[in-house]
Amino acid sequence: MINVTIDFKDKEKFDRLIRYIENNEVYFEAQAAIIDLADSTVSSMHEIIDTSRRRPDAGTHKLENAIDKKILNTTAGVEVGIGEISRLRVEAPYFEVLDVGGYIPNHGNFVPLGAFAPGNPKPDAGSFRDGQWVVGAGKYKFKAKRAIEGIDYIGSAIRELDRKLRETIESLGGKFLTGMSKT
């Protein structure tokens, strides 16, 4: 959060500043820019996830669909959240593992049902001999021999957001100060 402290000894100048801020188009541009940045960040996360995919997707795109922006507050400016944790935990409980790496939560080193071989819906006997596949709760599961490599989609999106936010602040701050000198 960015906080600005202004100390005025002259009430008339202070009142003029408040009127300038309230009537300034830069304020509304900044709110629109925040929403645009949130949309851009969500799109960036979706793209990183999609391009980092190593296995064929079942077409559900659960993680991408669970990541969205949510406007939290519009009272004094705009507050936007990206990726509601409670929703991610329900719709894509592996969201953290995909980001930082490791094993899927609540599965130990077992990964839920996946693609076995082109055209084969279930693993064959050879797969079981290697100890890579097990049957659990009536479903075939893959026993992972190594952890999932994280793709850092959250960190990448935050770094990109930070860069774009700095550019936006510089641009809008310049407009704000230029207009201020005219009042």
* Nearest of 33, 31, 22, 8 to residue 179 by alpha carbon: 22
* pLDDT tens track for 76-119: 678 889 999 999 989 988 888 889 988 765 555 455 544 444 44
Q: What is the dihedral of CA 82, 83, 86, 89, to 10 degrees?
A: -170
3-state helix, strand, coil in the chain (%, to 5): 50, 15, 35
* Comparison of pLDDT for 132 and 168, the residue scoring more: 168
Question: What average pLDDT does this structure show over 158-182?
Answer: 80
Residue 21 has pLDDT above 50, yes or no: yes
Q: Bridge-partner residues for 149, per DSSP?
A: 101
What percentage of the chain reaches a pLDDT higher than 70? 63
Question: What average pLDDT does this structure show over 153-169?
Answer: 92
* Angle (CA) 147 136 127, round 5°: 65
Q: Where does residue 99 rank: exposed (0-12), middle (13-18), buried (19+ CB within 10 A)?
A: buried
